[in-house]
Chains A and B, each alone.
Chain A
Amino acid sequence: MPKFVFSILTVSLLGCFESKNTETETNTHDSAEAIPPSDEPSIAVASPTLRRLTIAQYHNIITDVFGDGLLIPSNLEPDISYEGLQALGATITALSPVGIERYESASYSITEQIVENPEKMTLLFPCDTSVDSCVQDSITDIGKQLWRRPLENIQIERLMNIYHSVSLASDTNTGIQYALAAVLQSPHFLYRMEYSPTLTAYELASRLGFFLWNSAPDLELLELAESGELLDVAILAEQVDRMMLDPKHQQGLRNFFTELLSLYELDTLTKDPLVFDHASPDLYQSAKEETLRTIQYIIENDQDFRDILTTQTTFVDRRLAALYDIPAPSMTGFGEVWLDASQQRRGLLMQASMLNIHAHSTSTSATKRGIFIRKTLLCQKIPPPPANVDTSLPEATSEAPTLRERLQVHFEEPSCAVCHEMMDLVGLGLENFDGIGRWRNRENGGEIDPSGLLDGAEFLDAWELAETVKNHDNFGSCLSEHVYAYAMGHVVDDDQEAFRDWLVENLQYSNWSFDSLLRTIALSETFRKNGVE
């Protein structure tokens, strides 16, 4: 019997959270009755912005162009998250003086390793470096791959000037080193500039590379950009297919979900070791891996992407198996497991990653878990708390042993209840999973009640919560919005809603294939546009 407090939702609550998907008629029928999507709507797109390379992109491009085995400094200027994505943070940050310093020293560290590596030098400079034209042609070629477009003559001249003046004072390889360093320090490398109202072939190649691979376009794409063939729809479709089969696509997918689900927080997470003695950085890395592999599995098998919330398939290592109290699939590394009906957990919400991130260092947090579901999975807005509020909760007592009882204080004060009901009544559904994701029936001697309410749908436990989120009207549109923002560099605004709705139509028609969503965006006309200021 649900024991939660059920308040009558007054009109004033509508100011508390906004559902962005109030107008689309969602189609939850199965494929036999699915309606084919309409034609792509023509929309206005936001005006373009420079997009700074993220640390991951910096690494990926260097590796693509210069090969493996280079020690790439990791202490570059940190990425920032904006509207839930670092891809969006990249559109608003500049570089701090220290950040530029670090890119400067990174460029020398990387180029020094290159010029001191005879194998790499032979590959990059497959000619006689004592001859000027050899050096020039090779640097021009490398520059094109790093800058994602051909260098202009004046730029080549500047680089060759550096080469000449330095090699004169030192030697050829040092000259090459400094010229390459100039390429790496250039804003043409560090920022993405896809600026034309209709993307040029090179800009399209760039946008595709970053969207599907989180890296620069490769030589094949650059060739098709040079000839202009990439702008042909049929060739573009072939390339998108090729790119999605390329191993780099996995890197792209993993990056998107790492950003969206804030999995990078697991890299620096700390829990109180006294409260959680199973906690360790290794566990958090395993947790990150579990979530990414589960997502990759669903996408690879082209399953209904909503299954991510309820799937009984997961991937665990020894550490996670211990946390979940299941037999380890292998002594080392990860193995696929099936969580049968006797298991209390299934799906993303009940994976260690989500349970750890959306919690406190000494406990769970129904509020944080509720916020995650509302904001990240359903794209609903929750306003900030009022100023000067005391956020301390009462201690557990014998009358109020579990978090549910202690949170009553959120519901007693109307100015708190208005928003906290939206968050807490959802997050409490996961209370059987403690702050590092272990199952528990009781807390402080009291029985845990995991029932709750999500937008009019009651649920009895975490499984039902997962089903409710999966079937929520917003899930598809929210996912589409995130992928759109990741691809295009701006959030969906009023002007782009029609396109987002069209994406949802396509998503449903494809039986919720994530790959299909990516393909729809990559091949759309909208993808090839920018707004004009």
Chain B
Amino acid sequence: MMFHKKNNFDAPISRRRFLRGIMQGSLVALQLPMLELFMDRQALAQDGGFPKRFAMFYWGNGMRPDQWVPTGEGRGNDWTLSETLSPLSSLKEKISVVSGMSVKVPNTSPHWSGGLGYLTGQELIGDDDSWTAAVPTMDQIIAQSIGNSTVYKSLISGCVSDASVSWNGPNARNPIENDPTLLYEKLFGPTFREPGSEGIVDPSLAFRRSVLDSVMQDIAELDAQLGTNDRIRLEQHLDGVREIELRLARLQEDPPSLEACLRPNAPDGNYEDINSRPQFAAKNAVMSQMLAMALACDQTRVLSYTFTLPLNNLLYDFTDMGHHSLTHNEPGDQPLVQEVTKFTMTQANVFLEALNSIPEGSGTLLDNCAVILSSEVSEARTHSLDEYPLILAGSAGGSLQQNLHYRSHSQENANKFTLSIMRALGMNQVSYGANDSATSDGLSAIEV
């Protein structure tokens, strides 16, 4: 099915002209960025394909490598899923498991050295009380590259988590959207229009844009008076305001004509804990469906989804001790720890199946995605950064291998996995990481 955009104007649109048509008041003279979105989407239309998307499905407190690693190595029938990974069997042909890799950063801060070490590709900075990311996390790096033509550059959400695993840079952790009702309002509320629908553009969009223009003027005037560091901070603020303005501009145009895009039903559940236990499954189901549809409607192409947070101490239906405590206190083979991991994989499967249930061309949305399933450590009891959990789902439009178990026998740098995925998404990423974690090699085994 060809993806084409209905365009009400004949000539290429300049943003100034667009604004003049909307605002009745006096003109504001601004340095406005060129309207990339039209150019980008027209290119897409000519291409005939679907855009590539990225998603990170993240859970906390790792896994037990001895129970995680699949049997056999290679492709297809050469390997089988482990017991812990068996919940993914319905999608075995669309996933690849990469085992034996290591995150090459000093492990000074239990859990977060690994977490930020993998998510940013580098060692975290700061001390015990104020550690933070040295650079943006991979979802934001990817969004900077592939997120510029959608309503949202990225969506940072989660299931049972109060915070995200997404940073814009040092001391700039992105807030998380974890309330299904609020997320629905944002994505499919009054500003959403189904493709082909006759809806009127919400007039408040224009009003809001006039306010944003005033704010940008305020920022410009303030900027001149500041010191260097403050200028950088204010620049980030300005970028954020610009993003909203571009989003409002996109919302004012007709939505891209994507057949699978439909407004989903509003979440109706009460997602309060039951007996001190979160409703993981119910919440994950509704979030997965909404986020899949957000991708299908091209509202965004980048997702960061924190299923559970590193160091969480959540209770499950089948446990009586918090997860983190369990990883340190359960003796021996830790059967309950394994059960939690297996349950997490069940929920990951729900997430992936939501993506796989949306048809795109001759395949599905999942085929056009690169989804990473990961956690901040492997064995939580020792906070190990070896045998790091890495699963790839989807093939980014045929650019990545599927139905593969690649096992590294030399503790290769986990950043190689990330680098290959970035390249598969079309990014010109020469290298990734820093110091001991720096690499310019991808993981050729997963590349097509």
Measured CB to CB, the residues of A under 8 A from B are 47-50, 75, 77-78, 80-84, 89, 92-102, 104, 108, 154-155, 158-159, 161-162, 164-166, 168-170, 174, 178, 181-182, 185-188, 193, 195, 268, 270, 272-274, 360-362, 375, 384-392, 533
Q: Which residues of B contact A533 (CB under 8 A)?
A: 227-228
Contact code string B100-124 (vs A, CB < 8 Å = 1, else 0): 0000001111100100000000000
Of all chain A residues, which has the CB nearest B225?
Answer: A195
* Interchain nearest-CB distance for B223 vs A (Å): 9
* Interchain nearest-CB distance for A15 vs B (Å): 15
B202 at the interface (CB under 8 A from A): no
Give the contacting residue for B230; candidates A49, A99, A272; CB below 8 A. Answer: A49
- Could you give 26 example pairs across A and B, Cβ below 8 Å? A47-B227, A50-B230, A77-B175, A82-B130, A89-B171, A92-B170, A94-B234, A95-B237, A96-B172, A97-B174, A97-B239, A97-B244, A98-B156, A155-B218, A161-B210, A168-B24, A169-B24, A181-B211, A185-B212, A187-B234, A273-B276, A274-B321, A362-B321, A387-B108, A392-B381, A533-B228
Q: Which residues of B contact A83 (CB under 8 A)?
A: 129-130
Q: Which residues of A contact B113 (CB under 8 A)?
A: 387
Most buried by B among A97, A101, A185: A97
Complex CA gap A255/B316 in Å reads 36
* Interchain nearest-CB distance for B385 vs A (Å): 8
Give the contacting residue for A386; candidates B108, B182, B215, B234; CB below 8 A. Answer: B108
Q: Which residues of A contact B321 (CB under 8 A)?
A: 272, 274, 362
Contact status A188-B218, CB under 8 Å:
yes
Interface contact tally, CB-CB below 8 A? 174
Complex CA gap A185/B217 in Å reads 12
* Interchain nearest-CB distance for A206 vs B (Å): 15
Contact status B207-A99, CB under 8 Å:
no
Contact code string B160-189 (vs A, CB < 8 Å = 1, else 0): 001100001011111101000010000000
Of all chain B residues, which has the CB nearest A98?
Answer: B175
Known: A166-B207, A166-B210. 8 other contacts (CB 8 A): A77-B175, A81-B130, A92-B170, A94-B236, A96-B240, A100-B244, A161-B26, A273-B276
B214 at the interface (CB under 8 A from A): yes
Complex CA gap A270/B321 in Å reads 12
Give the contacting residue for B214; candidates A89, A93, A162, A193; CB below 8 A. Answer: A162
Complex CA gap A155/B218 in Å reads 8
Q: Which residues of A contact B445 (CB under 8 A)?
A: none
B6 at the interface (CB under 8 A from A): no
Contact status A361-B324, CB under 8 Å:
yes
Contact status A95-B211, CB under 8 Å:
no
Of all chain B residues, which has the CB nearest A270?
Answer: B313
B233 at the interface (CB under 8 A from A): yes
User: Which chain B residues in 332-357 approach chain A with CB under 8 Å?
Assistant: none
Contact status A361-B240, CB under 8 Å:
no
Of all chain B residues, which has the CB nearest A166?
Answer: B207
* Interchain nearest-CB distance for B337 vs A (Å): 14
B391 at the interface (CB under 8 A from A): no
* Interchain nearest-CB distance for B248 vs A (Å): 10
* Interchain nearest-CB distance for B323 vs A (Å): 10
Complex CA gap A95/B207 in Å reads 23
Contact status A388-B175, CB under 8 Å:
no
Contact status A182-B211, CB under 8 Å:
yes
